[in-house]
A and B are shown apart, each in its own frame.
Chain A
Amino acid sequence: MEDLKTFLIEKVLTFESDTLSPDTEKVLQLIRREKTVKPVIYVSTGTSSIISGSGKTCSAIETYIKENEPSASIVQVGSTGPATFEPLVCIQIPGKNKLFFRNITEEKVEPLLNGVFHNDINTDDLAGQTGTKGFELWAGIPFMDELPFFTHQKRVILGNCGCYDPESIEEYIARGGYRAYIKAIRHYTFEEVCDIIERSGLRGRSGGGYLTGLKWKHALNTTSNSRYLICNAKESDPGAFTDRTILESDPHRLIEGIAIAAYAIGASNAIIFMRSGSDHAKNRLQKAIDKSREYGLFGHNIFSSGYNLDIIIRVEPGAFVCGEETALINTLEGKRGMPQLKPPYPTTSGLFGKPTVINNVETLMNVPLIMQNGPEWFRSIGTENSPGTKVFAIAGKGRLSGVVEIEMGTKIRTILDEIADGIREGKEFKAIQLGGVSGSFITAENLDISIDYESLKEKGIGMGAGGFVIIDENTCMVDLVRYYMEFIRNESCGKCIPCREGTGRMLEILESVIRKPLNEESGTTLERFKGVMQLETIASVMKDTSLCGLGQTAPNPFISALKNFRDEFEEHIFDRKCRANICRGLRTFSIDVDKCTGCTACAAKCPVNAIYGTRLQPFFIVEEKCIGCGICFDICKFSAITVK
């Protein structure tokens, strides 16, 4: 191992020429497992895979190998992207193309491996093959990149995800890693690196889409004896999991990106700010940092360049608002995570009053690639003003879900119809929610918007952090808006009045809209109408006056839902009906006398004893008592219960 380390450092990392010697290349090929003599089994072990049971799959494979194929080895890789395919297993037989199998749960392992090793492949679980030059094709098996899920993607940032062992720095170096960083610190000045990034037109991948290179220059040009670089990996929007996937699958590239960014602003301290709860990602990242420190990539006078850099991980205390940059800085300083007034911006006075650059994971992932391939290459991807790609986490009611990367300028419709393969179970499409709790809804008529900063801004839609939630007709928009509002109400830091009180009031009003009308005479109707009339005012004041992005964007889902689904709101308010039958308080259940057999199953399960009747005679539901939970509806075997 020690020899390999010296070799990699001398012949690859600090090798003066851009092209490596053929001998070195041969070794690197071996590390990359491009020429294997033994079978290799890759199991994806991201969080989404572990949830689907890849841990058990992994141990089942290990047992199988021990008993039947001792020559084979097993490699735990990160997630490739499609969460629907997890646990994804890839098998590489020497001399042949890699084969991908999807949804390999524990019990499927033995038949699968038996089949593969005895040349009798079960095509049911097969996802596809990937081609490597000079390897034998599997006849009649589609290529992975020809699957619609992958054809419409442009995998730049995710290029390494699922391809290598995220805990092995050797493999990352063999894939060209860390050379951009070493080159930067040995051959470029701070300004030059900033220049390259500025020329590439890379824009911050969350929120405003500010030019990254420009931001770095602001920090660099602020006189100070120390500066900080913070990687904001605090992703906690409901339905967003891009950062986590990246951290778990390709931690080294992120570290390289952070290192280059830190160098560009002359920072000697870099901090990765992570969300609490993603321990898997944190452990992988920590291991990667330890390894790179072993290789001398961090520390004092790195590779005799005269540059010092250290990198640490900090975990947030568990509040959504800590992702806001000023709140994040407060948290790191050990204070209460509350946003502060801007100006001063962090680039002039940030962490401990020093110039600080905060970039998110996706932005920094682009940096090593731009340094490797040049800004012109980056500009060739995407649109004129929004070069590059964008990573989305597709979730919700699409047929496929997972982390995908598309070229800027791709139409939303492409993601929906091609990558996510349409709506599950043939349901009607309703909307797409872009950008989590602070995002807006995109309805059918807007599906042809292309994804880039300008087009989205024109329509008043924020790019967001990468949440892409597909909503079908079975979702009630009022209920969804209420859910987002509740999330923000609980996560507001409580500092500024419009956000703290406004979210609370809006939630209360929305709750009154979907609550069961207990007694129409007691003035609750009037109260409800009065409240609803104020919703729009409160929303606009919140948007206008809140202190930080959280409060300013909190009413977005509501405003956008009201614009696009006003009829649904009016139905709830005036007709007291929920067309998706989601809002409990507005559902009325009744029993079809002709279908009911009097089996008593529903009456036995009813939590409020609202169902009465005699055995073997049709039952009936007392509407006043019913809470609309729907248990009877689910339990009835004869479809005798109807919902209105």
Chain B
Amino acid sequence: MLFTIQVNNKKIKAEKGETILSALNRNGIIIPTLCRMKEFTPTGACRMCVVEVEGRDRLVTACSQPVEEWMKIKTHSPRVITARKTIVELLLSNHPDDCLYCDRNLNCELQRLSEELNIRERRIRGRKIKPRLDQSSPAIIRELSKCILCGRCVRVCEETITATSLDFINKGRETHVGAAMDRDFNFSSCIHCGQCVLVCPTGALHEKHNITEVQEYLNKPEIVKVIQYSSMVVYGIAEELGMRYTRDFDKVLNSILRKIGFDKVFKTGTGTDVCITEITGQLTERIENNSDSPLYISACPAWVKYAEQFIPSLIPLLSTVKSPQQITGVLIKTLVAEQLGVKPGEIFSVSATPCMAMKFEARRDGMMRKGISDVDSVLTVRELARLIRLYGIDTTNIEQEPADEPLAGRSSAAILAEVSGGLAEGVIRAFHFQKMKKEPDKLIFKKLRSGGIFRELSVQVDDTSVRAAVVDGLTGLEKLRSALASGKKYDIVEVMTCPGGCVHGAGLPFSPSKDEIRNRSKLVYQSDDTEAINLPCKSPSLISLYEKLLKENPDISDRKIFFTHFEKRNVLL
């Protein structure tokens, strides 16, 4: 039901049941917010969105107050502006003020707000918060003095990720966000998905920087510098550098990376193809054995840690195949090293990913061979963009180059793995091809591609039917649990920690809206539709790898390097 309300002496249309904020936004009036996250119920913690409603003693928060017919609202009256300004000034009064050195400089919501509200003088001076830096986690750094306690990270961790590693501790001036028992972050149940980093409005949470380390190695002539990047990085870099994404942008990226000083540029996509192939093998085995329990895909490192600490009973069901990044990494340290004629220790292998948990995964137990880790350093897309800017590379005027063999090609199934459900789809496609010797119609996967946080699909392949389930975001686990409890059987289950999959990864550019994420997945599906090679087993790189290179190399011909192990993890809950 539409009705009219008065805003700043003008009439606008509002809908019954919506909040003041949504009515205002629809009519082109912008109200600053700080603690608000679109998909969540408002908490009203920051009080930035206050507006004046005639007849109310106090200012009301636009984000939570339902709009009513009698309302006469003033959105930018002197009283409102003073209130907003004072709130930001209060936040700044004990802020560390090291914007120039801050991770979020020029990209900080607090900075933007103070700019928008025209704060030009320090009116209120407060005692600074005692700095506390928590660098213990392999992926996420917390700088508590920069925290403005908006509570976004707490809510994301609890409501979207369900890991609940963060909460408010203490009260009054002592209030801060912390992990269980206020211990350092590495003791906590954090799964390093980094969604908290993505929503943090200030620099209180950011990824662990590996740039310096990479830079250091780039200057060592005796070391072979190698980088692998996943398909999502290509989109991410285009987005972060403000460029238009085209089909050939990966070739541009190859050239950029070589200009920075990487000797070899590989695609993680080849690793994804290997991953799909190996999982298909495991799936075939399982189906042939008529196994009752499903195979859980373990390509998402955050999900693996989640399972290890919260659902240890599931560990034996996890596929032991390494994640694409680690497979590519180990191939670089074995196959490529041999081809180049260097020792594995002389290779510095960098991985660029849209994921933050990969930083943790590279440090995992079981991800090294003969004392040499598969991947030496992991960069997020944001870090890689920073590196590109640091090396002053003119990205507008650059030639196109192919990636290096043997890990240069990939199928479109590999790119599909960046969206939730894509990996399962790839595996089923490969399984289908293996049985029927022909590709399945893509339309049958419609149910796997969209339709909520928990999706199911049953495909008839020859005489067997493959039943797949996709958990899109860890909140979907609850539905999986009840489906399993009600007696449903699955052959393969894919779990992605970030809602939407890697397109929503925490290493990608900040503040993604739902539309942007949808746009990224659209690009992924487009690539799948337009590219010629849709199956891993048709990719030339993979064929040469399996048919020739692995066989020629007795050290790795048993393919053991593609597998790892998982163990129960004890953490503070």
Contacts and interface: CB of A to CB of B under 8 A. Distances in A.
A552 B171 CA distance: 17
Contacts of B171: 319, 321, 490-494
Contact of A544 (B42, B64, B83, B90): B83
Interface in A476-523: 489-498, 500-505, 508
B87 A530 contact: no
Contact of B44 (A496, A501, A531, A543): A496
Interface stretch (B119-127, B355-363, B484-492): B119-127
Interface in B154-179: 167-168, 170-175
Most buried by B among A341, A497, A498: A497
B123 A544 contact: no
A606 to B, nearest CB: 30
Contact of B59 (A492, A494, A544): A544
Contacts of A538: 86, 90, 124
A340 B125 CA distance: 29
Contacts of A496: 44-47
A341 B59 contact: no
Interface in B127-151: 127, 148-149, 151
A497 B91 contact: yes
A246 interface: no
Residue from B42, B82, B91, B126 with most neighbouring chain A CB atoms (10 Å)? B126
B114 interface: no
B20 to A, nearest CB: 13
B160 to A, nearest CB: 18
Interface residues of B, number: 37
Q: What DSSP secondary structure best describes chain A's contact surface?
A: helix
Contacts of A617: none
Nearest to B52: A544
A178 B402 CA distance: 89
B541 interface: no
A336 B171 CA distance: 10
A494 B94 contact: no
Nearest to A545: B47
Given A341-B42, A538-B86, A336 B94 contact: no
A537 interface: yes
Given A497-B90, A497-B91, A534 B45 contact: no
B61 A341 contact: yes
B42 A546 contact: no
B15 to A, nearest CB: 17
A498 B45 contact: no
Interface residues of A, number: 37
Contacts of B148: 497
Contact of B58 (A491, A503, A543): A543
A537 B123 CA distance: 11
Interface string B5-48: 00000000000000000000000000000000000001111110
A491 B174 CA distance: 10
Interface string B340-358: 0000000000000000000
B227 interface: no
Contact of A541 (B86, B126, B127, B173): B86
Given A505-B126, A527-B125, A544-B58, A497 B168 contact: no
A494 B91 CA distance: 12
Contacts of A541: 82-83, 86-87
A544 B94 CA distance: 22
A501 B50 contact: no
A546 B47 contact: yes
B79 interface: yes
B44 A490 contact: no
A494 B148 CA distance: 10
B380 to A, nearest CB: 30
Interface string B50-85: 100000001101001010000000000001001100
Contact of A341 (B43, B87, B149): B43
A277 B148 CA distance: 33
Contacts of A338: 168
B124 A534 contact: yes
Given A497-B46, A501-B91, A505-B93, A544 B168 contact: no
Given A490-B172, A547-B47, A336 B167 contact: yes
A290 B553 CA distance: 80
Interface in A514-566: 527, 530-531, 534, 537-538, 541, 543-547, 552
A492 B125 contact: no
Contacts of B61: 341
B22 to A, nearest CB: 15
Contacts of B79: 544
B123 A494 contact: no
Contact of B83 (A503, A531, A545): A545
A275 to B, nearest CB: 15
A96 to B, nearest CB: 55
Nearest to B92: A501
B173 to A, nearest CB: 5
Interface in A320-338: 321, 336, 338
Contact of B126 (A336, A495, A504): A504
Nearest to B173: A504
Nearest to B148: A497
A343 B90 CA distance: 27
Nearest to B64: A341
B513 to A, nearest CB: 24
Contact of A500 (B58, B59, B123, B172): B172
A61 to B, nearest CB: 44
Contacts of A534: 123-124
Contacts of A530: 123, 125
Nearest to A551: B47
A491 B125 CA distance: 22
Contact of A497 (B59, B87, B126, B127): B87
13 contacts: A340-B44, A490-B173, A491-B171, A494-B174, A495-B168, A496-B44, A498-B47, A498-B90, A541-B83, A541-B87, A544-B58, A545-B47, A545-B50
Listed from nearest, the 9 A-B pairs whose CB atoms lie closest are A494-B175, A501-B90, A541-B86, A341-B44, A490-B172, A545-B47, A341-B64, A492-B172, A544-B59
Given A497-B47, A527-B125, A552-B58, 20 more contacts: A336-B168, A491-B172, A492-B173, A493-B172, A494-B149, A494-B168, A494-B171, A494-B175, A497-B91, A500-B149, A501-B90, A501-B91, A508-B126, A537-B82, A537-B86, A538-B90, A543-B58, A545-B47, A545-B59, A545-B87
